[in-house]
Amino acid sequence: MEPRKGHYSLIQFCPDRGRAEAVNVGLVLFVPADRRLAVRMATTSKRVQQIFGKGAIDSWWLKTVRESFERGLMTEHRAGRFAVPEDLDRYFSTLGNDIIATPPRPTQVDDARASLDRLYARFVEAASIGAEEMAIPTVVKPLDDAFRRLHDRMAAVQFAQRFSIPGYPHQVQADYVFPNGDANLVRLLRIGESPARAFDQAVKLGGESVVVTKHLRVNDLAARLVVVAAPLLVGARTVDTEAKLASLYHDFPDAEWVPSASIPTFAQRVEAAAH
């Protein structure tokens, strides 16, 4: 096959654009001559953890960010939105979460899959071998499935987003976002072996819910925080911790509290109401 001109972009994780610290987590290859677009994303967080610290990055959050980027990119490609490299670059400029992309760079392509693998091995894979991802808590799967179905139906839902509030140095993080007249920012509260850690996070989110309600708007919609209990373990201790957290949220009426037992019902409500 005659070599064709292609373009590749490095996909990078950049949790703080002001600091401009980024780690390569994937690669996109675009061949304009036959409108071929291929993407390959890292399957581990090892390199990200090396750069930003193991405790600083939630592996499941990063996994969701990568998957969200890949879904959005391929949706745009199937819609025929990329004809020239500049189209791809314009799309990259609209990305609003922790994923950024380098401007497309030229490369010679003979076999697209082989070229993708070669470039990926050079720029991404060498620093990303090993390490396991943090799986989504099993109890949250009905909610995750609901959001993925909504995304497939082109509903205006989002995954793994951060929002800035004018005048506040803190960014608000959401595992999922869905509009239903308000912009609902869904945050998973993981409950593991350390009740103290869960309580610290719960109090932080409770205070955050007040600021979100008063000061944050997303796409011209008033924002509100929804906190979903996500036990990582099964046992009496976890059940007791969740009960105490539910009681704590009586002091934070700006946040909606969703107990783990109500996740399937909440997922159905989201799927019915999101638009």
Amino acid 126: pLDDT? 55
Those residues with Cβ within 8 angstroms of residue 105's Cβ, 6 or more apart along the chain or in another chain: 7, 8, 9
CA dist., res. 32 & res. 89, Å (int): 13
Q: Specify whether 20 is located in the same domain as 115.
A: yes
Q: Specify whether 23 is located in the same domain as 121.
A: yes
Residue-number span of the structural domain to which 120 is assigned: 4-127
DSSP sequence for 83-107: SSHHHHHHHHTT--SSEEEPPPEEE
Residue 128 pLDDT greater than 60, yes or no = no
- Convert the pLDDT of each residue in 131-190 to its tens digit: 334 456 789 999 999 998 898 787 888 888 889 888 888 789 899 999 999 999 999 998
Q: Specify whether 103 is located in the same domain as 23.
A: yes
Q: Specify whether 144 is located in the same domain as 267.
A: yes
Domain boundary among 127, 149, 177: 127
Domain boundary among 69, 102, 127: 127
Amino acid 55: pLDDT? 65
pTM: 0.65
Q: Specify whether 20 is located in the same domain as 78.
A: yes
Q: Specify whether 35 is located in the same domain as 60.
A: yes
CA dist., res. 275 & res. 273, Å (int): 6
Residue 224 pLDDT greater than 90, yes or no = yes
Choose among 80, 237, 96, 105: nearest CA to 159. Answer: 96
Please tell me the least confidently modeled range out of 51-65, 119-133, 159-173, 182-196.
119-133
Choose among 110, 96, 100, 126: nearest CA to 28. Answer: 100
- Structural domain includes residue 132: no
Q: Specify whether 191 is located in the same domain as 162.
A: yes
- Structural domain includes residue 11: yes
Q: Specify whether 261 is located in the same domain as 158.
A: yes
Which domain CATH number covers 171? 3.40.1350
The average pLDDT across 119-129 equals 70
Domain boundary among 108, 127, 146: 127
- Structural domain includes residue 58: yes
pLDDT bracket for residue 1 (50, 70, 90) = low
pLDDT bracket for residue 129 (50, 70, 90) = very low
User: Using the 8-state DSSP alphabet, how is residue 180 labeled?
Assistant: S
- Structural domain includes residue 27: yes
Those residues with Cβ within 8 angstroms of residue 153's Cβ, 6 or more apart along the chain or in another chain: none
| 195 vs 133, more confident | 195
The domain total for the chain is: 2
- Structural domain includes residue 133: no
pLDDT bracket for residue 118 (50, 70, 90) = confident
Q: Specify whether 88 is located in the same domain as 182.
A: no
- Structural domain includes residue 198: yes
Q: Specify whether 210 is located in the same domain as 170.
A: yes
Q: Specify whether 150 is located in the same domain as 104.
A: no
- Structural domain includes residue 245: yes
H helix runs in the chain, sequence order: 46-52, 59-78, 85-92, 112-123, 141-152, 195-215, 236-248, 263-273
- Convert the pLDDT of each residue in 36-50 to its tens digit: 999 998 877 777 877
Q: Specify whether 103 is located in the same domain as 221.
A: no
CA dist., res. 242 & res. 180, Å (int): 27
CA dist., res. 108 & res. 106, Å (int): 7
